[in-house]
């Protein structure tokens, strides 16, 4: 059986290039890659269909076809639409009709269409709905992140909507999500909380009924425990030396202190400034622990934070000015980590120092990073808004510390609980890796998808009504 994954944004290549150094290259790509590989290991023929880019700034994505070395059954297919230069996900909406035309051409030429499509994010979803409308191929929808929560967290109101819409194109994104969730045969969610809190947002009312069990399947993502493991790798020594060099080049007396790691994408909604404020607000924390912010793609933030693309450099500028306000350049360190193997080594080093992983997102749909840190034996302090509230507490057992990301004291106290209470830190460290391995594997995710897909393929959903502007590439009417 052939299944196509529609993921027009970001891109995919054997080196996982740009992961987290751009907002469109993050957890969703990890999820799509790992799920596709796991499905292929179960005998499915998988196409990951994305976009061909011929752009000197983005050299990795110019071939129409690509693959992962040593992985059978997964083909990366890059379609030409919206020109050949890189476009951020916010600029793809008008071109998705052409993405679908190119997909049809490919499969017509090859003589076989996929039996099923999994659609990712609102752009993959509307493209799958158009393909379903034209070719009657059933599809599932995995939101990864819904625009309504982003609008809430950005504080968008009727008054300022137009200003934000110029940047984020919610007038395309919300209708795309509405069509995706209504006409998909199933909406895959990572947690029950995603179904009942994210999909029940008033902006989706009338488009999806969250009480309708036939429209939802809770299938948790996995963790690649081949990468994220408590067992040291040959990289640990190099990363430890890089960590020591980083710390000692800022300050002499802090090498052996526990370290708080933040490794999310440098994105406003990750609220890294909330973590920084909480750390700097508490003299006990500042005295007993280091704060390390992982930045992919730049070596020294204090001198070249402008090199990061778009909103990431804005976030870094704000972090640097906050650090300078507190004269804390000898306490807050930045480190360039370029792939998940290095990230796993850093997590193990932090764990050996009695450190913690911190995620203070205002809203985290799921949160692969905290689970990966736990898989390496690094205990987690994470936002209670979203996925972590389900996987840091299970059947009344604590697997980490939940905090209110909008409350500085809550973050500081959560960090201190794990940094200062060494017994609690050690007790968690001893069991979190096994917990992740037991409940979160990509093969289990793939089995969860396939079980539902086999069932749903027997049925046909109603023919989707596609908003005209998606079929013509015209202007979307304003949402408000
Ligand atoms: O230097 C780095 C830092 C991070 N990562 C990876 O980036 C991913 C980050 O994923 P996640 O922590 O889930 O955050 P997002 O990038 O925001 O992912 C979006 O999509 C994910 C999958 O649906 C959801 O879990 C998130 O909640 C949603 O915000 C992880 O796999 C990390 O291993 C790297 O590869 N290199
Ligand atoms: O911040 P947004 O627009 O909700 O999107 C979340 C982004 O993070 C990602 O994980 C990047 O891969 C995707 O889900 C998406 O591009």
Alpha-carbon distance of 395 to 387, in angstroms, equals 15
Alpha-carbon distance of 143 to 387, in angstroms, equals 14
Sign of torsion, CA 168 9 387 5? positive
Q: Is the same domain home to 419 and 448?
A: no
Alpha-carbon distance of 414 to 323, in angstroms, equals 21
What b-and-e string marks burial along 256-285, b requiring 16 or more CB atoms within 10 Å of the CB?
ebbbbbbbbbbbbbbbbebbbbbbbebeeb
Q: Is the same domain home to 123 and 174?
A: yes
Query: Does residue 451 lie in a domain region?
Result: yes
Q: Is the same domain home to 322 and 466?
A: no
Residue 379 contacts residue 357 (beta carbons within 8 Å): yes
Q: How confident is the model at residue 303 (pLDDT cuts 50, 70, 90)?
A: confident
Which residue lies with its CA nearest to atom 16 of ligand 2?
Answer: 24
Ligand 2 residue neighbourhood (C-beta within 6 Å): 9-10, 23-29, 89, 121, 144-145, 150, 269
Check residue 475 and give its pLDDT: 95
- Mutating to test ligand 2, I would choose from 31, 121, 125 the residue with most ligand atoms within 8 A of its C-beta, which is 121
Check residue 474 and give its pLDDT: 94
Query: Does residue 413 lie in a domain region?
Result: yes
CA neighbor of 335 nearest in space, from 236, 263, 394: 263
Pocket flag, ligand 1, residue 198 (CB < 6 Å): no
Q: Is the same domain home to 204 and 268?
A: no
Count CB-CB contacts under 10 A for residue 101: 15
Q: How confident is the model at residue 265 (pLDDT cuts 50, 70, 90)?
A: confident
Alpha carbon 366 to its chain centroid, in Å, reads 8
Alpha-carbon distance of 355 to 261, in angstroms, equals 8
Residue 271 has pLDDT above 70, yes or no: yes
Q: Is the same domain home to 19 and 108?
A: yes
Q: Is the same domain home to 294 and 311?
A: yes
Alpha-carbon distance of 398 to 391, in angstroms, equals 9
Q: Is the same domain home to 383 and 417?
A: yes
Calculate how far, in angstroms, residue 25's C-alpha sits from the geometric centre of ligand 1.
Answer: 8
Q: Say which range, 139-143, 219-223, 255-259, 458-462, has the weakest mean pLDDT.
A: 458-462
Check residue 461 and give its pLDDT: 78
Taking only the tens place, the pLDDT of each residue in 194-234 is 999 999 999 999 999 999 999 999 999 999 999 999 999 99
Q: What is the ipTM of this complex?
A: 0.96
> Among all chains, which residue has been given the structure tokens 């059978």?
72
Q: Which domain holds residue 389?
A: 234-439
Q: Is the same domain home to 128 and 277?
A: no
Q: Is the same domain home to 69 and 210?
A: yes
Three-state DSSP state, 166: helix
Report, as an integer, the average pLDDT of 60-70: 97
Residue 308 has pLDDT above 80, yes or no: no
Taking only the tens place, the pLDDT of each residue in 370-392 is 999 999 999 999 999 999 999 99
Which residue lies with its CA nearest to atom 13 of ligand 2?
Answer: 28
Alpha-carbon distance of 411 to 251, in angstroms, equals 25
Calculate how far, in angstroms, residue 26's C-alpha sits from the geometric centre of ligand 1.
Answer: 5
Pocket flag, ligand 1, residue 336 (CB < 6 Å): no
Pocket flag, ligand 1, residue 334 (CB < 6 Å): no
Alpha-carbon distance of 446 to 46, in angstroms, equals 12
* CATH number for position 34: 3.40.50.2000
Pairing of strands 65-66, 74-79: antiparallel
Structural domain count of the chain: 2
Q: Which helix (H) or strand (E) holds 458?
A: none
């Amino acid at each position: 059986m052939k299944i196509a994954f529609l993921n027009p944004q970001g891109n995919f290549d054997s080196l996982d290039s740009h992961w987290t150094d751009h907002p469109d290259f993050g957890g969703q790509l990890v999820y799509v890659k790992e799920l596709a590989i796991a499905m292929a290991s179960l005998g499915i023929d998988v196409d990951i269909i994305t976009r061909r880019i011929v752009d000197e700034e983005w050299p990795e994505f110019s071939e129409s076809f690509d693959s992962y070395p040593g992985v059978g059954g997964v083909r990366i297919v890059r379609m030409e639409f919206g020109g050949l230069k890189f476009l951020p996900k916010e600029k793809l909406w008008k071109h998705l009709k052409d993405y679908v035309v190119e997909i049809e051409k490919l499969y017509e030429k090859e003589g076989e269409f996929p039996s099923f499509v999994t659609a990712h994010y609102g752009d993959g979803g509307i493209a799958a709905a158009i393909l379903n409308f034209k070719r009657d191929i059933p599809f599932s929808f995995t939101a990864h992140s819904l625009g309504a929560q982003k609008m809430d967290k950005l504080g968008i109101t009727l008054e300022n909507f137009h200003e934000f819409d110029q940047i984020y194109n919610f007038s395309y994104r919300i209708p795309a999500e509405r069509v995706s969730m209504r006409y998909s045969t199933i909406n895959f969610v990572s947690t029950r909380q995603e179904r009942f809190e994210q999909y029940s947002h008033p902006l989706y009312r009338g488009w999806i009924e969250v009480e309708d069990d036939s429209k939802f399947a809770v299938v948790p993502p996995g963790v690649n425990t081949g990468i994220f493991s408590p067992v040291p790798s040959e990289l640990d020594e190099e990363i430890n030396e890089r960590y020591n060099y980083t710390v000692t080049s800022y300050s002499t007396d802090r090498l052996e202190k526990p370290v708080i790691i933040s490794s999310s994408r440098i994105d406003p909604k990750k609220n890294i400034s909330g973590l920084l404020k909480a750390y700097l607000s508490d003299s006990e924390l500042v005295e007993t622990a280091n704060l390390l912010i992982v930045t992919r793609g730049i070596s020294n933030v204090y001198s070249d934070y402008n090199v990061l693309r778009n909103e990431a450099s804005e976030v870094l500028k704000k972090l640097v000015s906050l650090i300078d306000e507190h004269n804390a350049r000898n306490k807050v360190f930045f480190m360039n980590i370029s792939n998940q193997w290095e990230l796993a080594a850093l997590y193990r080093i932090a764990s050996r120092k009695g450190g913690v992983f911190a995620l203070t997102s205002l809203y985290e749909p799921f949160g692969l990073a905290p689970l990966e840190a736990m898989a390496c034996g690094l205990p987690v302090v994470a936002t209670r808004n979203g996925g972590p509230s389900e996987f840091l507490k299970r059947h009344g057992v604590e697997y980490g510390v939940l905090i209110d990301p909008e409350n500085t004291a809550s973050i500081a106290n959560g960090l201190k609980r794990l940094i200062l209470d060494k017994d609690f830190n050690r007790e968690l460290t001893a069991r979190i890796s096994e917990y992740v391995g037991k409940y979160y594997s990509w093969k289990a995710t793939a089995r969860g998808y396939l079980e539902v897909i086999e069932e749903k393929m027997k049925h046909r959903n109603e023919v989707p009504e596609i908003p005209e502007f998606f079929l013509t590439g015209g202007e979307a009417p304003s949402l408000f």
